[in-house]
Amino acid sequence: MSALEAELAPRKVPQQQRAQFTVDCILKAAESIIVKSGYDAATTNNIAEVAGVSIGSLYQYFASKEAIAAALVESAVMNATEVLRDCLIENMAKPLEESARQIIRTILETRKQYSFIFLRLPREVPKLGRLSRNVTTEKFLYNTIRAYYQHHRTEIGVEDIEVAMFVSEHIIVGSIDAYLNNNAPVITDEQLVEQLSDAFVKYLTK
């Protein structure tokens, strides 16, 4: 565990049920305020108040304001990771094109659901920014993704599979994030899924 990770880790693991409830309240309050008004506008005192908890208690479970943001990101990443891994496993056996569509649709949905926490929060919290690539989805998924590529090896025409993985991940996730950031998109979600699948498959197959 790096020094940075230690700094952002929960201060004490809540062992009683009541304590877990407190932690949940704090996170829920933090998320609602941060999503609505941004990280800077969310003061710890305000988070505590909305959570119905004293500021002293808040600091008993979180070492700092940044740690709250980190917990928020971590929770979102874990949820998204699970969803995506299930999706990958489920589509492992299907042909590339069909599975791609389903996987990209799932990525779009999770990115959309957590768009604020994935896209904006890390930028507003300096320490999280540095952390974000570490806790980001792909790390947890690495083996599953690799298995997926191995599974479709015969369909893939790119020589270096590491490069292919890296590039296609950035193409898909990058495009989706850019799309979600766009205020006036020209196409629908389903069109995006369609086009990205197309591009993805074309890129991978020779």
Partner DNA sequence: TATGAATGAGCATTCATTCAT
Partner DNA sequence: TATGAATGAATGCTCATTCAT
45 counts as binding DNA under rule CB under 7 A: yes
- Which span sits near DNA by CB under 7 A: 19-27, 72-80, 133-141, 193-201? 19-27
From 62-70, 91-99, 111-119, 157-165, give the range in contact with DNA by CB under 7 A. 62-70
Tokens representing 118? 């994935």
Contact between 30 and a copy of itself by CB under 8 A: the answer reads no
Provide the CA 150 distance to its chain's centre, in angstroms.
24
| Partner whose binding site includes residue 18, from a copy of itself, DNA, none (CB under 5 to 8 Å by kind) | DNA
CA distance 146 to 166: 11
Q: Which H or E run includes 51?
A: helix 44-51
Residue choice 5, 13, 38, 52 for contact with a copy of itself (CB under 8 A)? 38
Distance separating alpha carbons of residues 199 and 193, to the nearest angstrom: 10
d(CA 73, CA 118): 7
The residue with tokens 């094109």 is 97
Binding site residues, a copy of itself, CB under 8 A = 38, 40-41, 119-120, 123-124, 126, 130, 132-133, 135, 162-163, 166-167, 170-171, 173-179, 181-187, 191-192, 195-196, 198-199, 202-203
